[in-house]
């Protein structure tokens, strides 16, 4: 007599291997040969649909991990996980969650940058307004310029794609349905020409001498270096290593900036000292302005902060985040 439970288990196993897509399974159960066919999607299309579904599944798992880290108070790690999930799934709410995590970590400049990215890709009006409210609460610029119109060449390419012949039948229908279920990739946020805001978020190798060369631009603002003053001496490091791993020091962080433009600039800027695994050992931010053409202006980020000497030895990179606009 045929065992239906055994057949059901075989079907479920095949469905998992095919990523949930339709499969044709030829199974022998209790000596009888039974053909089981689920004709919802052609078999040839199943591997492609399964591959398309994998990033979304990975993004969901990463977002769940980010949520747990947020609840545990590990806000910086949560923010990075939310951003990774967004890169996989392109779902705007993941960007908003990343912004909230940055905000909870006290990283105001990074939070503003993420919220602005969210506004550029979110279609829901209420969601965009909530993000603008968060930006204003953080003292940032909530303006998001409209993207520029398509050029004639882009329009022609679009017309060619629209006119391209399609394959009739179930395969084309399945492709269309799969495309509809996938979020469209958003265009990168554009700055209003000559006015900003310009956003920068880059990491550069750390220099233990205390002078880390940056050489990055956020619009007309050039960030040349990050300075760490009152850093541990060789004696301080030897003492902390041998006797007191909890020994601390009080660094002063500054950035050196130049305005290559013809207008005064207002900017928020942050520097994060990170270990190789992304842990932030120290982070400071500040707001300032710089006159047109001014060179090598020093902005102090923090003076009353504390850092372990042992953590100083673990720093591998400096992350610089800036949000700049014409004042």
Strand locations in the chain (E): 24-29, 32-37, 198-205, 211-218, 221-229, 248-249, 252-259, 265-275, 280-290, 297-302, 307-308, 315-326
Whether residue 37 has pLDDT greater than 50: no
In which band, very low, low, confident or very high, does the pLDDT at 220 lie, cut at 50, 70 and 90? very high
More confident residue, 296 or 12: 296
Which domains does the chain possess? 4-40 (no CATH), 41-144+156-189 (1.25.40.10), 198-326 (2.60.40)
pLDDT given for residue 188 in this prediction: 38
Whether residue 269 has pLDDT greater than 90: yes
Whether residue 33 has pLDDT greater than 50: no
In which band, very low, low, confident or very high, does the pLDDT at 170 lie, cut at 50, 70 and 90? very low
Q: Is 237 helix (H, G, I), strand (E, B) or coil?
A: helix
Average pLDDT of the residues in 287-297 = 92
In which band, very low, low, confident or very high, does the pLDDT at 97 lie, cut at 50, 70 and 90? very high
Closest CA to 131 of 152, 164, 100, 107: 100
pLDDT given for residue 225 in this prediction: 94
Q: Is 281 helix (H, G, I), strand (E, B) or coil?
A: strand
Whether residue 6 has pLDDT greater than 60: no
pLDDT given for residue 125 in this prediction: 81
Read off the pLDDT of residues 15-31 as tens digits, 9 standing for 90 and up: 555 444 444 443 344 44
């Amino acid at each position: 007599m045929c065992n239906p439970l055994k057949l059901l288990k075989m079907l479920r196993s095949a469905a998992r291997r095919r990523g949930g897509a339709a499969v044709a399974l030829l199974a022998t159960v209790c000596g009888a040969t039974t053909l089981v066919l689920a004709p919802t999607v052609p078999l040839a299309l199943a591997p492609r649909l399964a591959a398309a579904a994998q990033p979304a599944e990975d993004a969901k798992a990463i977002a769940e991990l980010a949520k747990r880290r947020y609840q545990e108070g590990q806000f910086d790690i949560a923010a990075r996980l939310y951003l990774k999930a967004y890169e996989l799934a392109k779902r705007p709410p993941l960007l908003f969650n990343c912004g909230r995590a940055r905000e909870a970590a006290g990283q105001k400049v990074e939070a503003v940058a993420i919220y602005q990215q969210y506004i550029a890709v979110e279609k829901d009006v209420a969601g965009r307004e909530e993000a603008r409210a968060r930006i204003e609460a953080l003292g940032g610029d909530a303006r998001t310029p409209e993207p520029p119109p398509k050029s004639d060449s882009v329009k022609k390419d679009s017309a060619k794609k629209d006119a391209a012949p399609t394959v009739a039948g179930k395969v084309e229908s399945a492709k269309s349905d799969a495309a509809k279920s996938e979020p469209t990739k958003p265009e990168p946020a554009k700055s209003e020409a000559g006015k900003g805001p310009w956003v920068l978020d880059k990491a550069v190798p750390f220099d233990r001498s205390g002078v880390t060369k940056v050489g990055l631009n956020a619009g007309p603002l050039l960030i040349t270096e990050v300075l760490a003053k009152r850093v541990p001496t060789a004696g301080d490091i030897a003492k902390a290593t041998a006797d007191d791993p909890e020994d601390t020091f009080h660094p002063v962080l500054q950035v050196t900036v130049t305005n290559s433009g013809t207008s005064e600039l207002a900017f928020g800027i942050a520097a994060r000292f990170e270990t190789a695994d992304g842990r932030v050992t120290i982070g400071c931010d500040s707001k300032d302005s710089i006159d047109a053409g001014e060179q090598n202006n020093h902005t102090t980020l923090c003076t009353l902060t504390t850092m372990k000497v042992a953590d100083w030895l673990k720093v591998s990179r400096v992350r610089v985040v800036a949000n700049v606009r014409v004042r």
